[in-house]
Amino acid sequence: MNEDLPNIVSERIQAIDIKRLAQSDEPYHPPRIMMLYGSLRERSYSRLMTEEAAKVLSHLGAEVKFFNPTGLPLVDDAPDSHEKVQELRKLSLWSEAQVWCSPERHGAMTGIMKTQIDWLPLAPIGGVRPTQGRTLALMQVCGGSQSFNCVNQMRILGRWMRMITIPNQSSVPKAFLEFEENGRMKPTPFYNRMVDVMEELMKFTILTRGRSAYLVDRYSERVESAEELSKRVNQKSN
């Protein structure tokens, strides 16, 4: 039993038997999941939300790692050799799945959330995106009434980065009412929805990670060499 979860929650969230589900030629190590959140506040509800989600993922059998965006420079304001950029990219390459959670600010995801996503390169080697084939779950927290602006925006980004973005998503309105003083999420329908999303992420990850190379294989990329494709996508306009 996971002591980080309430007893009643631990009893109702069943750990996934990865070895039983995996075929003989598929990986059956714990799914590797990277967590990104979009606020630097001391009491960051997007961070608290991802921490709560991480507890569920760990209970389900995943290996979870966080990226702390403190100190991450703006894109084009530092070289990609910057230590925080390298840390983020290494975590992304390590991951088989990712969770993105952003607060909504001015009707959109926060700048720090977008900066983290923008530092993940689209085409470091020809046209192959290092995020392609990974599964992705999306969540957002709101200061006021419920909105889906952030998850909708991040869904577009996930598609552009060729990630397998799961259908379910979570949006928590008036997040300041949904967490206890100790940072734990209250047992409400919003908590239940978050658990639904994490369970679905685990299922999609286990079902697709052994086949991600096949799922993202494209004819247009097979007929061009990496060098030719790089020249085409990086050509300057007249």
**Domain residue extents for the chain:** 30-233
- Which tops the pLDDT comparison, 77 or 18? 77
The per-residue pLDDT for range 120-129, each reduced to its tens digit, is 987 654 455 6
Sign of the Cα pseudo-torsion (152, 158, 159, 164, in order): negative
Beta strand segments in the chain, E: 32-37, 63-66, 97-105, 108-109, 135-141, 164-172
pLDDT of the residue at 20:
64
Quick one: average pLDDT of 70-93?
Answer: 93
Provide the 3-class DSSP secondary structure of residue 124: coil
In the chain, pLDDT over 70 holds for what percent of residues? 81
Residue 6 has pLDDT above 80, yes or no: no
CATH topology for 30-233? Answer: Rossmann fold (3.40.50)
- The answer to whether residues 89 and 121 touch, using CB atoms and an 8 Å cutoff, is yes
Per-residue pLDDT, 1: 38
Q: Which position has the higher pLDDT, 76 or 98?
A: 98
